[in-house]
With several copies, the nearest count.
Chain A
């Protein structure tokens, strides 16, 4: 018997069921806030930066299964990376790390990338 696994990969469902890094960071070094209610996805991504390295990341997301899983994944991927490395993380990379997303859900990975970029920009602007 098939089930929701046929819509999402096992990896997506795993991150959906047990999302990593849920929550806010107190006094974050950068906050990204993207998405809009009309599309049904809103992501907030918080980063803590030390010596140009992202030492912690957390998120809060209102959205579908893919939105939650990509949020979880991108926060995992970014931890320990330098700002420059983090800026290189593309939405495709997030989707691939989740063993793919249905075409209709690729916009969620775009949102995750944007949330990360926006948090880094916020950090860069503040640290100028």
Chain B
């Protein structure tokens, strides 16, 4: 059975050309970039090339890009780095209620260390109101962090508007753009952000590498303490193959992004339309238009997400759910609850995220199979009769 992967937002396969670009850096050009001998200097050259590629993609300068071990580290670095460096100015941080756990948990850590966090609500589509951000600002506010697009239901936030508010108030502004970079155009100057997180494995690069954009002049302390790497902003021997891989992934994304976003938007809308037509009592989560080109998230009433996922997997289709039956907390997705969904609806959510190797055939197959699965599960649902 041919498997159909529709979980590109969780992680993407590494592009074969990216792997090819990385390979020499494992065994041949393997030096430590901090070494002054030739092995080291070759490695350093490769890193600097990748840095410029990443910077170019988002309208930044090379020196403003610091490589990290992924999106989570970039988020931790941005938030803790700014918070600890600007304590004398204030202790207040503003963020949203649908952020990734990397931001939420970091905020909780900072709260335990004396910071004050305001968590802004979102509307039914998951949109933050820039007006709310403005109202939340106090003279103690040192940082605003709002994600550019949500990983679960794909809503794209009004970052440029928030950026302008932050700029006017002289407050640092961070955005988690992990789901966006490489998929749709991102420009740090248009968005007026000071810090921006990205992660290679969401754009056909390798896992375990990411980057934080840090606008020149931004005051922040390191998160990873140690040696003098990355202009003393991030210690640890550089993951050269990973960084080269990110550089290559960014290069490919740049070439393909425009066409690919269009192609995926079409497929996305086909899938959404098909699902809503063929399965009754189903609704789309997230904004219908201000939405990542590859994200489909629906709630199917009366059935639970994991049981749909397992059935899909048995048919070779890989997707994900906001049901947290398999997580240790048992609570359904905080994102879907923030949109106002009931716990049952949140547990009954499915995310299909599309990518490079998704075509019409894959969409057709989901539309053929999911209705059957839902019918089977609804037949055993105790929720159905009560409606």
Tell me if chains A and B make direct contact, with any CB pair below 8 A: yes
Residues of A in contact with B (beta carbons under 8 Å apart)? 1-4, 6-7, 13, 16-17, 19, 22-23, 33, 37-44, 59-68, 104-105, 107
Contact: B41 with A40, CB < 8 Å?
A: no
Between-chain CB contacts (< 8 Å), 25 pairs: A3-B313, A4-B313, A4-B314, A7-B36, A16-B310, A22-B379, A33-B382, A37-B344, A38-B331, A38-B332, A39-B325, A40-B304, A40-B330, A40-B332, A40-B343, A41-B325, A42-B383, A44-B382, A60-B381, A62-B383, A63-B304, A63-B306, A65-B307, A66-B325, A68-B380
> In the complex, what residue of chain B is closest to A44 when comparing beta carbons?
B382
Contact: A6 with B304, CB < 8 Å?
A: no
Contact: B332 with A4, CB < 8 Å?
A: no
A residues less than 8 Å from B343 (CB atoms) = 37-38, 40
How far apart sit A61 and B42, CA to CA, in the bound complex (Å)?
A: 28
> In the complex, what residue of chain B is closest to A8 when comparing beta carbons?
B310
- The range of chain B's interface size is 20 to 34
Determine if B326 is an interface residue (Cβ-Cβ < 8 Å).
Answer: yes
Determine if B255 is an interface residue (Cβ-Cβ < 8 Å).
Answer: no
Contact: B303 with A6, CB < 8 Å?
A: no
Determine if B44 is an interface residue (Cβ-Cβ < 8 Å).
Answer: yes
How far apart sit A19 and B381, CA to CA, in the bound complex (Å)?
A: 13
Of the candidates A6, A13, A33, A64, the one whose C-beta lies within 8 Å of that of B306 is: A64
- B281 CB to closest chain A CB, in angstroms? 13
Contact: A104 with B382, CB < 8 Å?
A: no
Q: In the complex, given contacts A40-B343, A62-B347, what are 9 additional A-B residue pairs having Cβ atoms less than 8 angstroms apart?
A: A3-B313, A4-B38, A4-B310, A6-B42, A6-B44, A39-B330, A40-B304, A40-B323, A40-B324
- B358 CB to closest chain A CB, in angstroms? 21
How far apart sit A6 and B33, CA to CA, in the bound complex (Å)?
A: 12
- B167 CB to closest chain A CB, in angstroms? 30
Of B37, B327, B380, chain A has the most CB atoms within 10 Å of the CB of B380
Contact: A64 with B326, CB < 8 Å?
A: yes
B residues less than 8 Å from A40 (CB atoms) = 304-306, 323-325, 330, 332, 343, 347
Known contacts being A6-B44, A42-B382, is A63 close to B307, with CB within 8 Å?
Answer: yes
Contact: A62 with B310, CB < 8 Å?
A: no
Residues of B in contact with A (beta carbons under 8 Å apart)? 36-38, 41-42, 44-45, 302-307, 310, 313-314, 323-328, 330-332, 342-344, 347, 379-383
Of the candidates B45, B310, B344, the one whose C-beta lies within 8 Å of that of A2 is: B45
B residues less than 8 Å from A66 (CB atoms) = 325
How far apart sit A60 and B382, CA to CA, in the bound complex (Å)?
A: 5
Contact: B42 with A3, CB < 8 Å?
A: yes
B residues less than 8 Å from A13 (CB atoms) = 310
- A80 CB to closest chain B CB, in angstroms? 22
- B104 CB to closest chain A CB, in angstroms? 19
B residues less than 8 Å from A23 (CB atoms) = 380
- B41 CB to closest chain A CB, in angstroms? 5
- B295 CB to closest chain A CB, in angstroms? 22
Contact: B302 with A62, CB < 8 Å?
A: yes
Of the candidates A3, A4, A41, A60, the one whose C-beta lies within 8 Å of that of B380 is: A60
How far apart sit A68 and B328, CA to CA, in the bound complex (Å)?
A: 19
Contact: B44 with A64, CB < 8 Å?
A: no
Contact: A4 with B303, CB < 8 Å?
A: no
Contact: B307 with A68, CB < 8 Å?
A: yes
B residues less than 8 Å from A64 (CB atoms) = 304, 306-307, 310, 323, 325-326
B residues less than 8 Å from A33 (CB atoms) = 382
Known contacts being A3-B313, A62-B383, is A104 close to B45, with CB within 8 Å?
Answer: no
> In the complex, what residue of chain A is closest to B43 when comparing beta carbons?
A2
A residues less than 8 Å from B37 (CB atoms) = 4
Contact: A61 with B38, CB < 8 Å?
A: no
